[in-house]
A and B are shown apart, each in its own frame.
Chain A
Amino acid sequence: MKTFKIGGIHPEENKLASSKAIEMLEIPQKVCIPVTQHLGTPSTLVVEKGAFVKVGQLIAKSDAFICANVHSSVSGKVSKIETVTDTSGYKKTSVIIDVEGDEWESSIDRSSVVKKEIILSKEEIVAKIKDMGIVGLGGATFPTHVKLMVPQGKKAEVLIINGVECEPYLTSDHRVMLEKGAEMLVGITILMKGLGVEKAMIGIENNKSDAIQYLQSIASDFKGIEVHALKVKYPQGAEKQLIKALINREVPAGKLPIEVGCVVSNAGTAFAVYEAIQKNKPLFERVVTITGKSVKNPSNFMVRIGTSVNELIEKAGGLPEDTGKIISGGPMMGKALNSLETPVVKGTSGILIMTKKESKRVEIQNCIRCGKCITVCPMGLEPYLLAQVAENTNYEAAEKERIMDCIECGSCHYKCPSGRPLLDYLRIGKNKVGQNIRNRANN
């Protein structure tokens, strides 16, 4: 079975919510929508305090290239505009809306009929994806329309759809593929047209055999879409590793997938694209997994953007007594939250609750030079060495040893028998080396 070649680990899967169908989460009484929820130029607010907004109404936009619009997820009155810490850990201007009813923009098609026929042209598709605020839902939140605009001199050959979901616990993409498979395949066809390619490959890890079988059975109705089963190995969902696994090409260091003729998009994003193009529905809700060993009912909810994490936890059976950590995302790359009031944003794929015991890090001991970090690094780096030079503030050496290639998957940190916080040091090193590189570019 296909997989990537260098490194990788296999943490406990713990896909507790994999058999739970997607449920609609009740609309909360109040939502808090950060104005910027993507990677790139920040958006600017277009509504004022006191205004009444409908579901799907534009509330923030920007004319910059790498940018994404934001739409209201509820109908109601803008009660406040303030800065709130979102799941990324940064403070961001946010719109607080007091919910009144559930009044949708009239242009949105709310029927559940699968609309297969694509009428828009390539250019119209790209423009509409931008209008509807579609970003990568895997977590990186890079604006999708930018990926579809291939730079001069490069050529896209294949669209790769990421249905790997290699993070333990998370099941949102799995459920989307199972329950919204047909819609997702239409979405993939739209993306193929927007990108101008004839071929798309969906990569799914073999622990989701039901999704693989289902998609394979319906993919024959769509031209040029292949479904591939992949061996279960973390971090296969990282785009460079996924490309390597599927078509055996290596994206050169510091370059984008388009360098090897690929564009990678997430399974959930393909579904969002379908809704945006065929149903005129902006991206204002998404599937979020709420899970954890201590959670009473691990579930997959369709959640309006801006709903607080607390609402999800309550619906899943309440906050367990001995909660030590709440993580936005999976246990390998997710971010620990500092408040239950944090809103769900476009990039929130899951909320993971960990007990006090699970939240404790293991004791740090001396490095015994066992080399396990090197063995598991999917980028072929030497994490022990990078951590060591970063700790000694020798950033020149860190750059030379290619610290910027690190994808922060955490495999080294996970595997280290001495419990050394390798990724913490690597992040510090990457930050400083990045600064040095930018300073050099500016001078």
Chain B
Amino acid sequence: MSLLTVSGSPHVHGDQSLKKIMWGVVLAMIPAMLVSFWYFGLPAIIITLTAVISCLIFEYLIQKYLLKEKTSITDGSAVITGVLLAFNVPSSLPLWQMVIGALVAIGIAKMSYGGLGKNPFNPALVGRVFLLISFPVDMTLWPLPKPIWSLVDAVTGPTSLGILKEGIGKGDTISQLASELPSLQNLFIGGVGGSLGEVSAAAIILGGLYMIFKKIISWHIPVSFIATVAIFTGIMWQVNPEHYINPMFHLLAGGLILGAIFMATDMVTSPMTYKGMILYGIGCGVLTVLIRLWGSYPEGVSFAILIMNAVVPLINKGFKPKRFGEVVK
């Protein structure tokens, strides 16, 4: 008679696993990735591959030789960081800068805290912000998308938010700038200047719906984040439509949709209760608008999310779930 296993209950386990979640996120990013390949061509593919492969290599090397622990690059989390990092840079970024970004994201933002699940800040965003501060010129010159495969260097130009910021700064009115700004329809479908992952809101929303359907993320963060931006910029637009552009433009231009769906929802660096998630989403939204309208950067999504990441432990402490049978004092 063979030995029996004795262990505590429960004796069954649900079908969710870390790997399924992580690779599910990767799958959700594929539509946006394909759109970026379509518009930016070969350089986009090369920069995405560089980011993913460097993230995997750095994670592997650090786990194996520095931490001397079991390597876990197959769990998919480093792939997510790589793809997100690529989503956040222009396709014209020099590859060596991409590699440095990956090292900062994986090495400093993730592994130095102890690896998956222990990092307080979203690694891809830390990598992006590091690149933005270190190489501001390369990071803010965006190749204009050309919807054909092309090996010729693309024409570069500023993003729509950049045009807006500069124009308003010079004292232009919205109507004067209108001809330079892309249409809302183009912003939604794709084909405007920006980083790889920002080109098509539709493709990102598709991925977001897939993640909500698969219960990888809940609706609370994206909805509260985007709604806050819409309401805040809507109020400002009502106040002075010649100085503040309409809220639809704010929703579709820049990295808001990408940030709200793929960055702010990162499980590790976002709150754990629904109430906390909503507060976090509102915080991200308010900070984004503050930076976009009155800050010195045209885009504020990454800074907003990083700042809110820092507040997450506090939110988790302050927003406990409703206890069953709690005695009201």
Which B residues are in CB contact (< 8 Å) with A381? Answer: 321, 323
Would you call B325 and A336 a contact (CB within 8 A)?
A: no
* B9 and A9 contacting across the interface, CB-CB below 8 Å: no
Closest Cβ–Cβ distance, residue B315 to chain A (whole Å): 12
Q: A435 in the interface, Cβ–Cβ < 8 Å?
A: no
**Contact status of A417 and B321, CB under 8 A, knowing A323-B4, A423-B9:** no
Given A382-B272, A418-B18: A331 touches B12 (CB 8 Å cut-off): yes
Interchain pairs with CB closer than 8 A, number: 156
Report the minimal beta-carbon distance from A322 to chain B, rounded to whole angstroms: 9
> How far is A334 from B116 in the complex, measured between Cα atoms in Å?
33
- A374 within 8 Å of B by Cβ? yes
Question: Which of A20-28, A53-61, A354-362 has 4 or more CB atoms under 8 Å from chain B?
Answer: A354-362
Q: How far is the CA of A318 from the CA of B7 in the complex (A)?
A: 23
CB-nearest residue of chain B relative to A407?
B324
A15 contacts the other chain (Cβ, under 8 Å)? no
Contact between B11 and A327, CB atoms less than 8 A apart: yes
Segment of A152-160, A179-187, A246-254 engaged in the interface with chain B: A246-254
Helix, strand, loop or mixed for chain A's interface?
Answer: loop
Q: Are B9 and A334 in contact (CB under 8 A)?
A: yes
In the complex where A325-B11, A354-B11 touch, is A251 in contact with B325 (Cβ < 8 A)?
yes
Q: A365-B75, A369-B267, A382-B321 are in contact. Are A417 and B16 (CB under 8 A)?
A: yes
Nearest CB in chain B to that of A421: its residue: B8
Q: B318 an interface residue at 8 Å Cβ cutoff?
A: no
Point out the residue from B5, B7, B14, B327 that lies within 8 Å of A415, measured CB to CB.
B14
User: In A320-350, which residues have CB < 8 Å from any B CB?
Assistant: 323-327, 329, 331-340
- Rounded to whole angstroms, the CA-CA distance of A370 and B270 in the bound complex is 8
Does any Cβ of B come within 8 Å of A39's Cβ?
Answer: no
Report chain A residues within 8 Å CB of B64: none
How many of A's residues come within 8 Å of B, CB to CB? 65
Complex Cα–Cα for A366 and B323 (A): 26
**How big is the B interface, by class?**
35 or more
Say whether B239 faces chain A, with CB atoms less than 8 Å apart. no
Smallest Cβ distance from A6 to chain B, in angstroms?
A: 6
Report Cα–Cα, A71/B136, bound state, in Å. Answer: 84
State which of A366, A382, A410 has its C-beta within 8 Å of the C-beta of B115: A366
Contact between A336 and B12 (Cβ–Cβ < 8 Å)? no
B contacts with A: majority SS: loop
A410-B322 contact in complex given A367-B117, A368-B116, A382-B272, C-beta closer than 8 Å = no
Q: Is B2 an interface residue (CB 8 A)?
A: yes
Inside 8 A of B269's CB, which chain A residues have their CB?
Answer: 369
Chain A residues within an 8 Å CB radius of B10: 331-333, 410, 413-414, 423
| Set of chain A residues within 8 Å of B271, measured between Cβ atoms | 371
Residues of B within 8 A of A251 (CB): 325
Q: How far is the CB of B122 from chain A (nearest CB, A)?
A: 12
Chain A residue numbers with a CB within 8 Å of B153 are: none
Given A365-B18, A369-B117, CB of A379 within 8 Å of CB of B4: no
CA distance A378 to B323 in the complex (A): 9
Are A379 and B11 in contact, CB atoms less than 8 angstroms apart?
no
Most buried by B among A334, A371, A382, A427: A371
The reply to whether B13 and A370 contact each other, CB–CB distance below 8 Å, is: no
CB contacts (< 8 Å) of A402 on chain B: these are 323
Tell me the smallest distance from the CB of A388 to a CB of chain B, in Å: 12
Determine whether A82 belongs to the interface, using a CB cutoff of 8 Å to chain B: no
Question: Does the CB pair A326–B4 fall under 8 Å?
Answer: yes
Between B75, B320, B322, the greatest number of chain A beta carbons within 10 A of the residue's beta carbon is seen for B320
Contacts of B13 in A (CB 8 A): 361-362, 413-414, 419
Contact A366 B322, CB 8 Å, known A337-B4, A414-B10: no
- Are the C-beta atoms of B324 and A11 separated by less than 8 Å? no
Shortest Cβ distance from residue A384 to the other chain B in the assembled complex, whole angstroms: 7
Residues of chain B contacted by A12 (CB below 8 angstroms): 12
Contact of A379 among B2, B5, B323 (CB under 8 A): B323
Question: In the complex, which residues of chain A have a beta carbon less than 8 angstroms from the beta carbon of B133?
Answer: none
Which residues of B lie under 8 Å from residue A377 when comparing CB positions?
321
Q: Is the CB of B324 within 8 A of A424?
A: no
Q: A11: which B residues are within 8 A, CB to CB?
A: 12, 14
B17 interface residue (CB < 8 Å to A): yes
Show 19 residue pairs from A and B whose CB-CB distance is below 8 angstroms, ordered by the A residue: A251-B325, A252-B326, A326-B4, A332-B10, A333-B9, A333-B10, A334-B11, A336-B5, A336-B6, A336-B8, A358-B11, A361-B7, A365-B116, A368-B21, A369-B268, A382-B320, A415-B16, A418-B117, A421-B8
Measured CB to CB, the residues of A under 8 A from B are 6, 9, 11-12, 168, 240, 244, 250-253, 255, 323-327, 329, 331-340, 352, 354, 358-359, 361-362, 365-372, 374, 377-382, 384, 402, 405, 408, 410, 413-419, 421, 423-424, 427
The 7 closest A-B pairs by CB, nearest first: A410-B10, A371-B272, A366-B117, A370-B267, A380-B323, A417-B16, A336-B6
